[in-house]
Amino acid sequence: MKGLSRQLRAGMKHVFHAESVLAVIVLLVLAYLTIPPLFVMFWKSFVSGISLSLHFSFSGYRSIMHNGLSSTVVQTLEFALGSTIITLVVGSVIAWSTIRTDAAMRWLGYVVAFLGFAVPGLVNIIGWIILFGNGNGVGDLWLRNLLGFHLAINIETLPGMIVMEGLLNVPVVFFLLIGPLRSFNASFEEAAQVYGGRSTTVMRKITIPLLKPVLLSAVILIAIRAIQGFEIPVLLGVPARTSIFTEEIYQSIHSSLIPDYSVASAFGVILVVGLVVLLLLETRFTRGIKRFEVISGRGNLDRTIRLGRFRWFPTIANLLILIFFLLPCLYVVVASFQKRIGASLKASSFTLGNYKTLLHTSGFMTAIRDTIEVALGAAIATALLTLLASWVSVRGKGRLSRIVNFMANIPLVIPGIVMGFGFLLFYLYSPVPLFGTILAIGIAFVAMFVPYGIRYIRPALIGISGELEEAARISGASGRHVLFKIVLPLVKSSVTGTSLYVFFTSFRELAMASILVTAATPLLSTMLLDQLVNGDLNVVSALGALIFAVSALVGLLAFRFIGFQRVSPAPVSAGNAP
């Protein structure tokens, strides 16, 4: 019996040693993906010229100070604050009306949210540019013929950018709020109304304070996403002559044949520091989250609020946002078959010539091959790495597991264009010849998507008891068998969801790709941007329709694997309409 006990202890010691080795390997991989690009960018911000020397200077920072850093900061804050307000208000109203009210066709809230994720933001923006760009788009022509006068709607302005960014991020707030709203105990609201509180007072005094942690977290997250935004500042901000941080980084790299990397690095360092401050603020605001916990010895009271004659208002709002997501993309599809953008919808105006031109465009087939290779490689590598990192951070003990979790989340506050620029500098000055290769782009994509994979897989692992793994180890299973024979089948849906999310997001990623691609390694997203800059809207429409079709298809597959809970009928109490 003692011999058996010694064997078990020896076997467990061997397993835990193997897990420690795995944790160190995962940590080194994560460190490679995050530290070198940021370190080289920080170093380059103090070194002028092409080389990476030890002669430090502040020329990059002085240059952006002299060229209007204050204006860039103010416009970036205006853009982030305005879009955050729109996102928070619209997303909260849709989530609240979908979960807590008897609004007509409540399921439309889920449709809007899922379409917002599935529809490529790049194609959506290009569609709106064709419809209402420069105040003289196809949509303006339609409205002039319908109304008899010219409205001159122009989205290529700072207000237009704010509205576009705000509406595109609505699904994020929706999915952040549906969980807390579903688990919300409405007995406090019921008690307040019994004592004569009006619905607006109950909302202001009871509902919003109890949701304060998640609302504050949503505000910070949306502000970070807005500051990190790339497509809208570049596609709409450049024509509008605005000055947004991500736009300035892109312009400083691409505005001349000999780019000034020190200026772009200085912009990147300032932007990362600002985002880290926002993340620290979120941590501080949500530190006392237990103050908002509700202790109850009975099940939550399910209280659905009657909207009365206003129950169709949320439906109309959902339909309008649905139009916002679908109209530009569908018009891009229609325009891809037209001989001339804005032509009448007669049969004679349609053609397949745009797709034939696209097929014969230089680099198109290479872009398809490279995009599929990068997307597949990034999806598989991200799923595997985040599975290992999540397992180490959840099942591991001590400081090493916490460091792994921290390292995996660092890229979350780094904009794609900044991360891409950091990898560009790292590859340029690294002795390993990776610059200009598909592998380099794939590695950078994995680094960017690791935090999102962690957020898919880690919660699933937390919900699985470690007793199953412990029993397998006692039975003699190795760490590899425990991970791939027990853990992986239990979190299969989360791993599959991560892979699909990374694949269809990589397929349309532009911020990082615009920095790392070369003439030898084009991607479909950067090819779309190049064609838009060249002004060939017919080819742009054909390529945009292709990206939209693939993204929609893969998005449907992702939702099939991830799944979603439909709105179930709930008992309606006699609450007053707000």
% of residues, the chain, pLDDT over 90 = 16
pLDDT on residue 30 = 92
Residues 6+ apart with CB under 8 A from 13: none
User: What one-letter code names the amino acid at 528?
Assistant: L
Mean pLDDT value of segment 201-229? 76
Per-residue pLDDT reduced to its tens digit, 280-335: 776 666 555 445 444 444 444 556 777 778 888 889 989 999 999 999 999 999 98
- In this structure, is residue 39 part of a structural domain? yes
- In this structure, is residue 19 part of a structural domain? yes
Least confident of 287-301, 341-355, 462-476, 513-527: 287-301
Residues 6+ apart with CB under 8 A from 121: 168, 231, 508
Least confident of 164-168, 375-379, 432-436, 447-451: 432-436
Query: Residue 566's pLDDT band (boundaries 50, 70, 90)?
Result: very low
Over 70: is that where the pLDDT of 165 sits? Answer: yes
More confident residue, 526 or 172: 526
Residue 101 pairs in a beta bridge with 305
- In this structure, is residue 560 part of a structural domain? yes
Domain count of the chain? 1
- In this structure, is residue 356 part of a structural domain? yes
Per-residue pLDDT reduced to its tens digit, 376-411: 999 999 999 998 888 888 877 778 888 888 888 888
The per-residue DSSP string of 358-373 comes to HHTSTTHHHHHHHHHH
pLDDT on residue 431 = 80
Q: Is the dihedral of CA 523, 525, 418, 455 positive or negative?
A: negative
Mean pLDDT value of segment 8-18? 50
Write down the residue that tokens 């209402």 correspond to.
132
Decide: 488 and 387 in contact? Cβ < 8 Å: yes
Per-residue pLDDT reduced to its tens digit, 185-205: 566 666 666 666 666 666 666
Domain of residue 422, CATH code: 1.10.3720.10
- In this structure, is residue 182 part of a structural domain? no
- In this structure, is residue 485 part of a structural domain? yes
Query: Residue 82's pLDDT band (boundaries 50, 70, 90)?
Result: very high
pLDDT on residue 490 = 75
Decide: 500 and 554 in contact? Cβ < 8 Å: yes
Query: Residue 154's pLDDT band (boundaries 50, 70, 90)?
Result: confident
Domain hosting 525: range is 12-44+347-569
- In this structure, is residue 372 part of a structural domain? yes
- In this structure, is residue 2 part of a structural domain? no
